[in-house]
């Protein structure tokens, strides 16, 4: 059973159910029909005999009988018995006949006359008589009108009469129910096969991806909204995310090796050059300082890359809380204003009581990245202005400077990973600060953009 395909299992399941259902239908129909037919026959027998009771009359004297008279007359006890022409002696296989109390047949027809000769009359009661495996119903009525004393009407009918109808219905059922069963099973099998076709395609696509490792492969099962289409869409989404994750990893490895190559080459070259001959203490010190600078840059780069990848891949779960932005911006600005670089002044205009849902650590990082860029690309004795306010669009945070600015062409590219504009000659950056700011903003459902003019300054605006 375990090795059977789902469609065979489904088909088997409803075949069994249908067989049980059909068998039960047979039994119910047969027994209900039989009971119904028996009741109908008995009712018919009683009705016919009762109707005939009024059709027999006794006359002491009837004079001359009209030759056109259709009723039947017979001499009886010095008078006449009149059997009306409405008397139904044989209708629907119900036979009614007139007897005297000695069970002598006076009028009518009784197919089992001989067998009923010994059967005592019993007024208004149905008696059963079994003759050659056939059940007969016998119904007697005593005639009570004056002159008719001692006369009985006896009706008989065979059960076979009704059972032929039951047999006909059963024959029909015997023919149609198996036909219906076969059509249902075949139809059900084809339907299950059609319905489960997407599963086959899903498993084939999954096997193909497993075999070739090509995550670009997608499951194509056309339009639809049922569970299988949802499953396929779920798989496709999973493949897309896996592809993105692998692509990000590949890109990270390539970027990391590319970015680390420069400091490593500088350190190697510096070491080789210094070791070529004996150097003075000053030359050794100079070489060591270069090596130290490059090592620091490498370490910064590695840290930034790891942080950035963790954020981009959502590898860490960053808890969300209600962050007091007023307090956060004030404390970051207070600390960073202490940086004595290029004699730059940092000012801040912060609205009171601004709060938002977010991750405190990430928001700190975002602001620190923007402010350190403003220092890095600021001019001598320049200024930096940080502002925080609540607007109709949301919480607006901006960092502006009067530094070197960014050209219009480069502005759309500066948020890319490792992108460094032409103006960044300091060699201190890693090219990851703004892409991290972009990811942090995206994480908080916000937007970041820059307004800048080369040589005049820049303004980074974040709206949450």
State the Cα angle at 21 between 20 and 23, rounded to 5°: 65
- CB of residue 456 to ligand ADP, shortest distance in Å: 10
Q: 86: which residues sit within 8 A by CB, 6+ positions away? A: 55
Q: How far is CA 259 from CA 249, 253, 423, in A?
A: 15, 10, 18
State the minimum distance, in angstroms, from the CB of residue 380 to ligand ADP: 14
Of 20 and 428, the one with the shorter C-beta distance to ligand ADP is: 428
Helix pair 160-195, 197-212: axis angle to 10 deg: 30
Rounded-to-integer distance, Cα 47 and Cα 88, Å: 11
Nearest approach in angstroms of CB 248 to ligand ADP is: 17
Phi, psi of 106 (to 5 degrees): -100, -40
Least distance to ligand ADP, CB of residue 310, Å: 17
Which residues neighbour 156 within 8 Å (Cβ) at sequence distance 6 or greater?
45, 94, 95, 110, 111, 112, 116, 136, 137, 138, 139
What's the rounded Cα separation, in Å, for the pair 357 and 324? 9
Q: Which is nearer to ligand ADP, 314 or 416 (CB)?
A: 416
Kindly tell me which of 44 and 410 has the beta carbon lying closer to ligand ADP: 410
Q: For 304, phi and psi rounded to 5 degrees?
A: -60, -45
The contact set with ligand ADP (CB under 6 A) reads 373-374, 376-377, 401, 403-406, 414, 419-421, 423-424, 429-435, 458
Nearer to ligand ADP, 236 or 423 (CB): 423
Q: Min. distance of Cβ 322 from ligand ADP in angstroms?
A: 28
Question: Least Å distance between CB 386 and ligand ADP?
Answer: 12
Minimum CB distance to ligand ADP smaller for 208 or for 416: 416
CA 221/CA 210 separation, integer angstroms: 19
Do 423 and 452 form a contact (C-beta atoms < 8 A)?
A: no
The residue sitting closest to ligand ADP, measured at its beta carbon, is 429
| Smaller CB separation from ligand ADP, 157 or 333 | 333
When the beta carbons of 34 and 376 are compared against ligand ADP, the nearer one is 376
């Amino acid at each position: 059973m375990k090795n059977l395909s789902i469609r065979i299992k489904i088909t088997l399941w409803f075949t069994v159910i249908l067989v049980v259902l059909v068998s039960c239908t047979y039994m119910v129909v047969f027994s209900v029909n039989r009971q119904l037919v028996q009741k109908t026959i008995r009712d018919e027998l009683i009705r016919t005999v009762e109707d005939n009771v009024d059709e027999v009359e006794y006359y002491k004297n009837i004079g001359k009988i009209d030759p056109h008279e259709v009723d039947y007359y017979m001499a009886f006890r010095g008078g006449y018995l009149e059997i009306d022409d409405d008397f139904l002696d044989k209708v629907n296989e119900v036979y009614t006949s007139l007897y005297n109390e000695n069970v002598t047949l006076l009028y009518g027809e009784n197919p089992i006359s001989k067998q009923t000769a010994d059967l005592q009359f019993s007024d208004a009661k149905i008696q059963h008589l079994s003759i050659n495996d056939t059940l007969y119903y016998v119904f007697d009525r005593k005639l009570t009108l004056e002159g008719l004393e001692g006369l009985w009407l006896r009706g008989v009918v065979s059960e076979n009469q009704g059972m032929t109808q039951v047999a006909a219905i059963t024959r029909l059922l015997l023919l149609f129910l198996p036909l219906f069963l076969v059509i249902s099973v075949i139809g059900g099998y084809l339907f299950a096969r059609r319905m489960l076709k997407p599963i086959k395609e899903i498993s084939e696509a999954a096997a193909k991806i497993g075999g070739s490792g090509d995550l670009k492969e997608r499951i194509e099962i056309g339009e639809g909204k049922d569970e299988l289409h949802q499953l396929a869409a779920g798989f496709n989404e999973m493949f897309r995310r896996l592809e993105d994750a692998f692509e990000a990893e590949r890109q990270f490895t390539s970027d990391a090796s590319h970015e680390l190559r420069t400091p490593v080459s500088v350190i190697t070259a510096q070491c080789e050059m210094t070791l070529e001959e004996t150097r003075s203490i000053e030359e050794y010190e100079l070489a060591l300082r270069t090596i130290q600078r490059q090592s620091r840059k490498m370490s910064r780069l590695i840290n930034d890359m790891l942080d950035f990848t963790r954020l981009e891949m959502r590898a860490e779960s960053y808890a969300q809380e209600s962050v007091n932005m007023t307090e956060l911006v004030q404390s970051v600005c207070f600390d960073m204003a202490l940086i004595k670089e290029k004699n730059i002044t940092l000012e801040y205009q912060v609205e009171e009581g601004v709060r938002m849902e977010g991750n405190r650590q990430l928001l700190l990082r975002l602001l620190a990245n923007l402010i350190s860029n403003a220092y890095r690309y600021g001019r001598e004795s320049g200024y930096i202005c940080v502002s925080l306010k609540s607007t109709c669009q949301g919480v607006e945070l901006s960092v502006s400077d009067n530094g070197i600015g960014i050209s219009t062409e480069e502005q759309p590219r500066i948020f890319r990973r490792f992108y460094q504009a032409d103006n960044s000659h300091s060699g201190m950056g890693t090219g990851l600060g703004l892409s991290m700011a972009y990811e942090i903003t995206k994480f908080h459902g916000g937007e970041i953009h820059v307004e800048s003019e080369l040589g005049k300054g820049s303004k980074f605006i974040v709206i949450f």
